[in-house]
Structure formats: structure tokens, C-alpha cells
Chain A
Amino acid sequence: MIEIKGLTKQFGKKSVVDDVSVAIQPGTITSFIGPNGAGKSTLLSMVSRLLDADTGEVLLDKNNVKKWKSTEFAKRVSILRQANYINVRLTVRELVAFGRYPYSKGRLNAEDNRFVDQAMEYMNLTDMQNQFLDELSGGQKQRAFIAMVIAQDTDYILLDEPLNNLDMKHSVQIMKILRKLVNELGRTVVIVLHDINFASVYSDQIVALKNGKLVKNGPTNDIINSDALREIYDMDIPIQEQDGCRICVYFNSHTGS
């Protein structure tokens, strides 16, 4: 289990994340939502040890993240950030195979290759496994990176806005795959989402941040209602039910300024 305790991060004088405490429930999809500059990505970076917190701590199985050995942590928690510019030429398969590094240290055995094959299968990349990344579209590239993280075979998968630059079809595909990872393989997914409706339809838990502070934290149904959303986004957002999903119809809302 991942527990976030009193985490604070300042850039200059500004608190980007301010005393946030959350426990991530295992076996769920937890979405971090909130307006721009709420500190979602910064929080995720600290959870995944990409960034050091100023105060507070992150615990994985009761042990501080900083005390974990890097390799062991990499077998438990994976993180994928939004910007993934790489200046080496890699094929899809080579990239996905990097996901096995914590186990193989660069020398793949049969089991590693099985994981790589499976991950590519999962992300529908098998046909293009020998293509170079720079020949792919943004969506295909994003899928290749997610496949790398799947091949890493971790209990926790942290994703920072994985739907950025993806069209509707690919966004839905990726969210469905994440759902499958949770339902079938018992993984825990923590995801920063910009689109409130993807959060509403696909996540079990929602953590809402605003100006670096935790404003809401709970099961999706407790958060996706007009009152809670007004508090988070300063907008009146009507909600409609569609096939048992709550959809926020915010496109024509009054924005208050």
C-alpha cells in the first residue's frame, strides 16, 4: 500500500503541493484531478521518487520510498511522465524490453521476452514491434511507452496524463486497458487526468487537488456531483447519467469570471 503523509513541495516561495496526505487503495484506479497548477503532477513525481519532497514522506508497504533500494522499488512501482523525448533511435520492441531492466539488467532471458511479448500484445503493438519510434504517430508512441511500463510488471502503475495528445478512440482504448490491468491482474493504477469524464467513468477513487491542497478524496461517486465539483473547479457543472456513468456537462457552464 502507498501512503502519502503530509507531503509539501515549494518552488521558490510558492507551495506547489501543500501538506497533502492520501492513502492509495490497492487494486483500484485512483485519479488525481484538479485545475491547472493544482500540483497533481508534482505530487505524482514525489510519490514515484522523481522529485524529493521538502517535508512529509511517502510510504510503500510502511517503508519510506527513499529507503527502498532503487531496483527493488522499480519492481514494485512504475511511473510514466508526459514528455518522453528520446534522442536515440529505438524500435518499439527495444523500448518495451527496457521495461525488463530491473529484472534482467539488460540481459533478457526467455521469461523477460515473454513479458515483452505480452505487454506488446496488450497494447496492440505486436505488428509494429520492429518499427522505429520516430516513425510512429503520437498515439502509437504513447502506447509503446505504456507497454514498457506494463512489461515492468509492477504492482503500482503511476501515469501522468497518459491521454495527452491522444484521440478519443485511443484514449478509450488505453483507459480500458488500465481497467483490465486492475480487474484481471490486480494492479493498482494512479493516474493524473485532465478530462473529468474519463476520471468519472473509469476510476474507483478520486483525489482532487486545488492550489496544492487536498480538497476532496474518496470514492468516485462521492466526488462527481455538482457540489464537490464546484469546490474543486469553481464552476457549476451539471451532471447527467448515461448507462450508469456520470457525465459532467461542463462545456457551457458559467465560469464565474
Chain B
Amino acid sequence: MRNSTKLILLFILVIISVLLYGFYDIKGGFDYAFPRRMIRVAAMVITGVAISYATVVFQTITHNRILTPSVMGIGSMYEVVQTVIYFFAGSMSIWIVNKYLNFGAALVAMVIFALLLYRFLFRADKYPIYLLLLIGMIIGTLLGSLVTFLQVLIDPVEYLGLQSLLFASFTKVKAELLYIAFGILFISFIYGSFIMKKLDVMSLGRENAINLGINYDRMVMNILILSSILIATSTALVGSITFFGLIVANLSYQFFVTYKHSVLIIGASLFSILALVGGQFLVEHVLELRTTISVIINFVGGIYFIYLLLKESRDTA
């Protein structure tokens, strides 16, 4: 089967799942339920595409298929920033009240964090992937503990506000952020259309890419910033889903055996929309909201992650 055929098939599946999710078992007023469901679909599409895009490009510049921005703790930075703002400035501060300012602050912190991570961990190519993974986990735990520590000290009433900010999910999407998120995604894709071919060359490794005239180090910087912005966007919208990028990116690598990033990114995006919309359908109609989709994704993703690790160690042994 050709890759274009596979993409079309996936796209059809995505359309079906969206229609199913939109129209299935609408009780009460259609005018009430349908627009609400469509807002959720919009959030799922934006999140899915942002995470897929961020993960594939991140894995290209770090030359691995196991580490993702979320696994390295870039998503957790969002919680750290929000908690720190609450702790030091309080819920009435302009940094919380103004959604754009709030989002901007988180964005800047996450980009800086990503650049530091790259500078110290990935740049020299000197650490094996397991060490990086371990460091990622430790950073994640450290940030998590920091957040918990600050939260314990915060005034309980303030804490409730913070909690609603952090525990976003698809069922309570922050609709006011949808427009910014869409705008960011749109700009990212315009930028992406200029760099797709460069990304293809970069997957040959630093030295071959420089040989072929890619300004490698600057490209890596740009792509890291791009990928942190995308992760920031999706985290702000629906919270952090650690293993999601890992699953969809690897599904895409396996399903479309190609070096072409245009195909890989679109493929991973379609997979993620399918997984999110399909998963949310299951959560709402089969599991009747007894759990959230993040839990399911992290469960399935965690198993897949272990599988990939075992496979990797077999391949390199």
C-alpha cells in the first residue's frame, strides 16, 4: 500500500470517529450538546496535532525514538510555572488573571528549560539513551516534588484555583485558549512547510546534514523552540499527557516506513486525533466517565513504552 493511500484511509477513519463522537446518542437538546462536543473535538485535534508535531521533530533532532519532550519533563515545567506564580504573586496577580500573559510566561519558561536540557544533555551525543531517560525521570520527579512542596504551603482557597488551572482535561477545555492555540498551531505549520525538507536531511545525523549545507546548530535551536511552544500549547489546553507523543510518533514511524517528515507528521497527527476522539468516545459512552482519557493513554502508552525499550535493547545488543 502506498503512503498516500494509507494517509487517506487514516483520514477517513478520523472523519468517521469525529462524526460518531459528534452525533452518537445525543440526549436532550441537539443545539446544546453538539456545539459542546465540537469544542472538545477542536481541543482534541489541536492537542493531538501539536503533540505529534512536537514529538516527531524533537526525536529527529535528538536522534532517538524513545525520548519525547514530555518524558524529559518539558510538560511538567508548565505546572511549575503556574504553581510558582500562585505561590509568589497569588491568584489575583496579573500573571494569572490575564490568560495571555499567563500563557506567555509558561511558554518562555518551557522554551528556556528545553534549551538548557539540550545544551547539557543532548548536544555532545555523549550520554547513552538510558542515562538520558533516567535523568528525564529524575527531573520530572524533582519538578513534581517542587510543585507539591509549594502547593502544600499555599493558602487552601488559592490552591483550589490553582488546581482548576492544572487539572485541565478534554471534558473541561479552556475554550478561551482555543483561539490562541489554533493561531500558534497555524503559524507553526507555516514555518513547518519551510523546514520539512531540512528535517529530512537532519535525520541523516549532524555531520551529514552539515555536509549537505544545513545550518545544523541553528536549526536545532529553532526546532527545540518550536517543539517546546507546541508542548506548552497542548499542556495549557488540556494538561500534560506524558506518553501520548511517544505512541503516536512511533506508530507513524512503523506504519509509514519513510524518512519524509511531511508524511510522518501528518500520519502521527491523524493517529493522535483518532486515538483522542476514539478514546474520549469510549470514556464517555462505554466507561461512562468513570475515568479520564489521560489515564487510559498513560496506561496503554506506558506499556508500549516498555515494549519499545525492550525492543531497543534487543536491537542494539
Q: Which of B196, B207, B212 contacts A101 (CB 8 A)?
A: B212
Contact (A81, B213) CB under 8 Å given A101-B201, A106-B197, A106-B200: no
Which residue in chain B gives the minimum CB-CB distance to A87?
A: B63
Instruction: Given A87-B65, A89-B257, check contact A102 B212 (CB 8 Å).
Output: yes
Q: Which residue of B lies closest to A101 (CB)?
A: B212
Binary CB contact string for chain A from 43 to 80 against chain B (1 if under 8 A, 0 otherwise): 00000111000000000000000000011111100111
Interface secondary structure of B, over-half rule? loop
Are A86 and B204 in contact, CB atoms less than 8 angstroms apart?
A: yes
What chain B residues lie within 8 Å of A79 (beta carbons)? 207, 210-211
From A70, A81, A89, B214 is in contact (CB under 8 Å) with: A70
Whether A152 is near chain B, meaning CB under 8 Å from some CB there, is yes
Residues of A within 8 A of B206 (CB): 50
Which residues of the partner chain A approach B183 to less than 8 Å between Cβ atoms? none
Q: How far is B205's CA from A17's CA once the two chains are assembled, in angstroms?
A: 24
Interchain CB contact (< 8 A) of B212 among A87, A89, A99, A107: A99
User: B205, A84: Cβ atoms under 8 Å?
Assistant: yes
On whether the beta carbons of B208 and A152 are closer than 8 Å, the reply is no
Given the known inter-chain contacts A86-B203, A86-B204, please indicate yes or no for A101 contacting B213, CB distance below 8 A: yes
- Tell me, yes or no, whether A169 is within 8 Å of chain B by CB: no
Complex Cα distance A80/B63, Å? 19
On chain B, the residues within 8 Å of A74 by CB distance are 211-213
A49 with B210: CB separation less than 8 A: yes
Is the CB of A94 closer than 8 A to any CB of chain B?
A: yes
User: Contact between B213 and A102 (Cβ–Cβ < 8 Å)?
Assistant: yes
Q: Is the CB of A90 within 8 A of B259?
A: yes
Chain B stretch 187-225: residues in CB contact (< 8 A) with chain A? 196-197, 200-201, 203-208, 210-215
With A90-B259, A98-B201, A106-B200: A71-B207 Cβ-Cβ less than 8 Å: no
Q: Is the CB of A70 within 8 A of B259?
A: no
Interface residues of B in 65-99 (CB under 8 A from A): 65
Q: Does A105 contact B (CB under 8 A)?
A: yes
B200: chain A residues at CB < 8 Å are 98, 106
For residue B81, give the distance in angstroms from its CB to the closest CB of chain A: 33
Min CB–CB distance B206 → chain A (angstroms): 8
Interface contact A98-B207, CB-CB below 8 Å: no
User: Which residues does chain A contribute within 8 Å of B196, judged by CB atoms?
Assistant: 106
- Cβ–Cβ contact B213 & A88, under 8 A: no
Residues in chain A near residue B259, CB distance under 8 A: 88-90, 94
Measured CB to CB, the closest approach of chain A to B159, in angstroms, equals: 44
Q: Are B203's CB and A48's CB within 8 A?
A: no
A residues contacting the other copy or chain, number (CB 8 A) = 31
- Judged by a CB distance under 8 angstroms, whether A251 is at the interface is no
Residue of B63, B197, B204, B211 with most chain A CB atoms under a 10 A cut-off: B211
Q: Which of A78, A88, A107 contacts B211 (CB 8 A)?
A: A78
Smallest CB gap from B212: residue in A = A101
A90 to B64, CA, bound (A): 16
List residues 91-145 of chain A with CB under 8 A from any CB of chain B: 94-95, 98-99, 101-102, 105-107
B196 and chain A: residue at smallest CB distance: A106
Chain B residues with CB under 8 Å of A89's CB are 257-259
**Which residues of B144-184 have CB atoms within 8 Å of chain A's CB atoms?**
none
Known: A94-B259, A106-B197. A70 touches B213 (CB 8 A): yes
Per the bound structure, the CA–CA distance linking A105 and B65 in Å amounts to 26
Q: Is the CB of B208 within 8 A of A84?
A: yes
The reply to whether B203 and A73 contact each other, CB–CB distance below 8 Å, is no
Contact B212 A81 (CB under 8 A): no
Determine how close the nearest CB of chain A comes to the CB of B208; give it in whole angstroms: 7
Whole-angstrom CA separation of A99 from B212 in the bound complex: 7
- CB pair B211–A80 under 8 Å, yes or no, is yes
A101 to B204, CA, bound (A): 12
B215 touches A70 (CB 8 A): yes
A81, B207: Cβ atoms under 8 Å? yes
List, sorted by A's number, 21 A–B pairs whose CB atoms are closer than 8 Å.
A48-B211, A70-B210, A70-B213, A71-B213, A74-B213, A79-B210, A84-B208, A86-B204, A87-B63, A88-B204, A89-B257, A90-B259, A98-B201, A98-B204, A101-B201, A101-B213, A106-B197, A106-B201, A107-B197, A149-B211, A152-B212
Question: A interface vs B, CB < 8 Å?
Answer: 48-50, 70-75, 78-81, 84-90, 94-95, 98-99, 101-102, 105-107, 149, 152
Known: A71-B213, A72-B213, A98-B208. 14 other contacts (CB 8 A): A49-B210, A74-B211, A79-B207, A81-B208, A84-B205, A86-B204, A86-B208, A87-B63, A87-B203, A88-B204, A88-B259, A101-B201, A106-B197, A152-B212
**Chain B residues within 8 Å of A, Cβ to Cβ:** 63-65, 196-197, 200-201, 203-208, 210-215, 257-259
